[in-house]
């Protein structure tokens, strides 16, 4: 099975940088995803890591260390609209009946303040 841990809440200042950590223990690993979810809306895809290292996409970067079961999402130049829940999700190994499944962490609620 999968066990994914993230901090429940974080607060940061507009214009600053924030790092959201995610640790996981899995019986099989086939990629780690970060999603952003605003209240009452569906999650939107932010990033994907399957190999160790840093993936950068504009203001957002994501890092993965498979040996440590660890990832982080880095948000730079924070804006008020970045206030949302950030979900770490791990994809397992393909199983019969439908392919790889994503297991989500509980999400980190980020609040960006002036």
Partner 1 sequence: GAVVSQHPSRVICKSGTSVKIECRSLDFQATTMFWYRQFPKQSLMLMATSNEGSKATYEQGVEKDKFLINHASLTLSTLTVTSAHPEDSSFYICSARSVNSGANVLTFGAGSRLTVL
Residues that bind partner 1 in the complex, under the rule CB under 8 A: 31, 33, 40-45, 48, 50, 57, 87, 97-107, 109
Q: How far is the CB of 15 from partner 1 (least distance, A)?
A: 27
| Neighbouring-strand partners of residue 13 | 113
Min. distance of Cβ 38 from partner 1 in angstroms?
11
Decide whether 96 or 114 has the Cβ nearer to partner 1. 96
Q: Which is nearer to partner 1, 33 or 72 (CB)?
A: 33
């Amino acid at each position: 099975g999968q066990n994914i841990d993230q901090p429940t809440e974080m607060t940061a200042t507009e214009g600053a940088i924030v790092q959201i950590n995610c640790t996981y223990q899995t019986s099989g690993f086939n990629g780690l995803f970060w999603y952003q979810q605003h209240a009452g809306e569906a999650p939107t895809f932010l990033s994907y890591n399957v190999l160790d290292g840093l993936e950068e996409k504009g203001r957002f970067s994501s890092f993965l260390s498979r040996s440590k079961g660890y990832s982080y999402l880095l948000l730079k130049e924070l804006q008020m609209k970045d206030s949302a829940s950030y979900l770490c999700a791990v994809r397992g190994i393909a199983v019969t009946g439908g392919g790889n499944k994503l297991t989500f962490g509980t999400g980190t609620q980020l609040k960006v303040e002036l």
